[in-house]
Structure 1
Amino acid sequence: MDLYTNFIQTDRQEQLYQRANRLADKIRDRRKQADHEASLPVSNVADLRKERYLSLTLPKEYGGEDLSLYEFLLVQEVLAQGDGATALSVGWHLGVMKELSEEKLWDTKKFEFLAKEVGEKQTLVNRCATEPATGSPTRGGMPETTAAEKDGYLIVNGKKTFSTMALVLDYYIVTAYVKEKDAVGSILIPKDIKGLRVEKTWDTLGMRGTGSDDLILENVQVPKENLVELNDKPKRPGPKGWLLHIPACYLGIAIAARNDVIEFAKNFQPNSLNTPISEVEHVRNKIGEIDLKLIHARNFMYSVAEKWDAYPEKRSQLMQELGAVKLVATNSANEIVDLVMRIVGGRGLSKNMPFEQYYRDVRAGLHNPPMDDMVLSLLAKNALS
């Protein structure tokens, strides 16, 4: 079954698919390296820049290609088949730029500066919001990182965890409590600045190649103009379609595992059988179950993305669907890779085969936002209200 036949609808999407597929082939060869070193390979970043992948979600006037949400998910799902960690990492960058351009969170001058950096130089940027004491920012904790005004500058001090791509980022968008404003703000900080350093702490079970190390800020001095966002009043978070890059990534990993296990099943014939294991009924049933789960999760994801693109005036009504897509996709991806491991058997745990990394990487999706409990709570609240 060609998993993409039903999802590529236009010539432009076909071209985007081919572009992402070229990159997937290249980064696949470095997947083990990324996993071993627990960092995003600089060669992967160079390949992304060469293909001008980092500006895909920017408006065309800044050198981007103004990807719709549907197209964004399409390329990310393909890229994740090469390396899930690289796809998830660059997905944050692309998502941030999509959010900034669509939601007009910064004033025009500040956004144009960063947009031109990305469009012209393929600059890499990400938000750094998570902290040891606060956990996920989606839970609403107040940042302990602080910014204080002094002589026309902001002096930033603090520590950020889960700082994806920390070692290779060009700019960090750091959340901090701004003392003089008594509010939480976001500060744009360039990489080559005194007092900023990356502490190599990322040593996890899965998604090791994201290099989500700690970012340390010690008396980092930036102009006051680098305060790009200020939330002086708590506001209820709205739906963020770009976060569907997360389920797209984990479904991409599941597709890679599915494709590899089919090849394995067609070619593996133990001496106890007269045929490859692809002819064994319980193996065929598991492969059928894998494709059923993929059809279900992917059709759900892409249908919600189509809704988001087609009816922008109704996006505020999609909060439940967006959360449900993430829950269904990441849980389905885990179930799919578990089925893959049952087909391969004990040899699938070997580092000489790709399956054990799929198994580890896909589990990280359960811990990306929004969490399952928050999604289920929202669904229940809306059902009972």
Structure 2
Amino acid sequence: MTTAVHTPELVRLELVRPDLSPEALAAVTDEIAAVAPAYDRTGEIPVRGLEAAHRAGLLTATVGTQYGGPGLGLVDTARILVALGEGDASVALLAANNLGTHQAQAAAGYWPEAYYADFLRRSAEGPTLANAVRAEPELGAPARGGLPKTTATRTADGWVLNGHKAYATGGTALAYHVVWAVADEPAGDPARPRVGHVIVPADLPGITWVDTWDHLGLRASNTHDVVYEDVRLPFEAFVEIPRGPDGVYRDPAASAGIGSFGHPAHYVGVARAARSAFTRFALERVPTALGRPIATTERIQTVAGEIDAQIAQAETLLFGALLRAEAGDTGHLPQLSLLKIQIARSAIAAVNTAVAALGNPALTRYQPFERLLRDVLCVRVHPPQEDTALLAAGRRLLGQ
């Protein structure tokens, strides 16, 4: 099915309305999984995986209904990302960032109209990605505090962007960057500058990529450094992040919001992939000393049960939190950061349990387990990190 909308910028926009049936999602998972090992080895942008997600309408599923999109909610978005993560964690990460961008635009409409119209037009034609570009080499993760060195300098006709960013997931596959920056304005307060995001078309002059991504996991995510040098943008490209009522700037990534659960969702998919791989291996492996599949032994059956228990816990926490939010329940919102780290712990435990039980076969590259373990460990880097989430929760609980 397709949806259509008429706007001054888009005469006709057609986006695929995704089929979220278990059978349809499983088919996309299988198609992406078939090519995931090759992209993991080369580190190239996972084009075929992205194309499969695009054809199924999974990269634009959260485009707002006001733009002619499906406008899917949090629960359905998580289902998509679990399925993509089960196929290829790198594809799922790129999709999670993209779906989050569309979700934020549907809620707040902060993009310049012409930019978002172009983004949608290209998204209807093929895989088209956007992502927030925030971390910096010196500062590290924004959730740890501090302000970016990247600046948007106000001019007579707009802004000039300068800075060096790290861990810009998507690399040259991005069509738009959402760049975290400080506003440098003649009339501004140097002690309390405005902080926000700058919407940047990826093909503007002055953007240079630095190939720095040589990582343990998510090899195909293309999370390289990027340098902005005198990149010129219109006034409306800068979107301010409001300070708190006390006038203090607090980065949005410092605590989990309900819209940020796309990242843990795709790692639940990685754990599911490990469960499926473990099941296949256990049914096919017949040691000569045993004379029957290892799946018939109580030891392997117990391990399978432990893997399933960890995934059940992760899925219950993930979808329970989202369903409560969609129902209007806010009682668990102060615990969202804790829920994210518990989901992460369970996903890691599921994959690690499979690897530990199988020994050498699980650590060889002709099996998927070592790739899945490398990928699932990356869940820890998404903000807020475990130590900051636990500290904040403890202070809240103890009134400190």
Relative to the length of structure 1, the TM-score reads 0.89
Q: Provide the C-alpha distance between the structure 2 equivalents of 1:84 and 1:290, rounded to a whole number of angstroms.
A: 19
Contact 2:256-2:383 at 8 Å conserved across structures: no
Contact 2:85-2:267 at 8 Å conserved across structures: yes
Contact 2:94-2:129 at 8 Å conserved across structures: no
Alignment match, 1:8: none
1:176 CA drift (Å): 1.2
Alignment match, 1:121: 122
SS at 2:76 equivalent: helix
- 1:130-175 CA deviation, whole Å, 9 max, x = no partner? 1011111112221011121233131111111110102101010111
Name the amino acid aligned to 2:197: S
Contact 2:63-2:69 at 8 Å conserved across structures: yes
1:338 aligns with 2:338: no
**1:44 paired residue among 43, 49, 56:** 49
1:18 CA drift (Å): 4.1
- 1:294-327 CA deviation, whole Å, 9 max, x = no partner? 112211211110011110xx54x54333212211
Name the amino acid aligned to 2:270: I
1:297 aligns with 2:314: yes
Alignment of 1:186-205 (within 5 A): 186-205=197-216
Alignment match, 2:4: none
Contact 1:186-1:230 at 8 Å conserved across structures: yes
Unaligned segments of structure 1, at least 5 residues: 1-11
Alignment of 1:359-374 (within 5 A): 359-374=373-388
SS at 1:40 equivalent: coil
**2:265 paired residue among 248, 267, 270:** 248
1:208 aligns with 2:247: no
Contact 1:35-1:209 at 8 Å conserved across structures: yes
Alignment of 1:93-132 (within 5 A): 93-102=98-107, 104=108, 106=110, 110=111, 112-122=113-123, 123-132=128-137
Is the alpha carbon distance of 1:384 and 1:92 closer, same or farther for their aligned partners in structure 2, counting shifts above 3 Å? same
Contact 1:261-1:343 at 8 Å conserved across structures: no
Contact 2:181-2:196 at 8 Å conserved across structures: yes
1:333 CA drift (Å): 1.3
Structure showing the higher helix proportion among its residues:
1
Q: Provide the C-alpha distance between the structure 1 equivalents of 2:298 and 2:356, rounded to a whole number of angstroms.
A: 14
Alignment of 1:136-175 (within 5 A): 136-175=141-180
- 1:101-151 CA deviation, whole Å, 9 max, x = no partner? 22x262xxx364454334432132111011011111112221011121233
- 1:183-230 CA deviation, whole Å, 9 max, x = no partner? 212111111111102111100011111110111111111222211335
1:246 CA drift (Å): 1.4
1:19 CA drift (Å): 4.1
Contact 2:274-2:372 at 8 Å conserved across structures: yes
Contact 1:20-1:76 at 8 Å conserved across structures: no
- 1:260-304 CA deviation, whole Å, 9 max, x = no partner? 111100110111102211111111111111111111221121111
Q: Provide the C-alpha distance between the structure 2 equivalents of 1:265 and 1:45, rounded to a whole number of angstroms.
A: 31
Aligned residues: 367
1:78 CA drift (Å): 0.9
Is the alpha carbon distance of 1:349 and 1:99 closer, same or farther for their aligned partners in structure 2, counting shifts above 3 Å? same
Relative to the length of structure 2, the TM-score reads 0.86
Name the amino acid aligned to 1:265: A
Alignment match, 2:13: none
SS at 2:173 equivalent: coil
Contact 2:64-2:102 at 8 Å conserved across structures: no
Q: Provide the C-alpha distance between the structure 1 equivalents of 2:301 and 2:295, rounded to a whole number of angstroms.
A: 6
Is the alpha carbon distance of 1:201 and 1:16 closer, same or farther for their aligned partners in structure 2, counting shifts above 3 Å? farther
Q: Provide the C-alpha distance between the structure 2 equivalents of 1:251 and 1:384, rounded to a whole number of angstroms.
A: 31
Contact 2:46-2:90 at 8 Å conserved across structures: no
Contact 1:39-1:165 at 8 Å conserved across structures: no
Q: Please provide the CA RMSD for this pair.
A: 2.1
1:81 CA drift (Å): 0.7
Contact 1:196-1:220 at 8 Å conserved across structures: yes
- 1:220-260 CA deviation, whole Å, 9 max, x = no partner? 11222211335465345475212111111111101100111
**2:296 paired residue among 279, 291, 316:** 279
